[in-house]
Amino acid sequence: MSTGEIYVGGCDIWWEGAKDDATNTYLDGTATVVFSVYETNAADDNNGDVVTGASAVAMSYVASSDGNFVGNLPASASLTRGSWYWLEVTATPSGGVAHTRRRKVKAVDRGFGP
């Protein structure tokens, strides 16, 4: 999956090199990491409604990695080909404060581009 794209019909979502902002150390398997996909809001950069089937999807720690996590966007997620969405990942280190990252992504068909 290239930067800025998610696939209609499901795909893996990766967060590589996730760090705890407070300690600047890589997150590990004790962190709780989830992602959600939101519709974009035409008026501003705020999130729109959460996409059906893509809310608080759990991500798993990749063993023996430096903060790598992966989760699966289900094929049942209601994405519209060619539409833009916000992909938001939230990580909560064990006993720590939640950190959120987001990026704008476009829904495309696998192997066919936008």
Please check whether the domain covering 5-108 is classified as CATH 2.60.40.1940: yes
Q: What's this model's pTM, rounded to 2 decimal places?
A: 0.85
Amino acid in the structure at residue 29:
G
> In angstroms, rounded to a whole number, what is the distance separating the alpha carbons of residues 1 and 85?
15
Average pLDDT over residues 91-113: 84
Average pLDDT over residues 54-81: 93
Structure tokens at 17: 């090199």
Cβ-in-10-Å burial (0-12, 13-18, 19+) of 22 comes to exposed
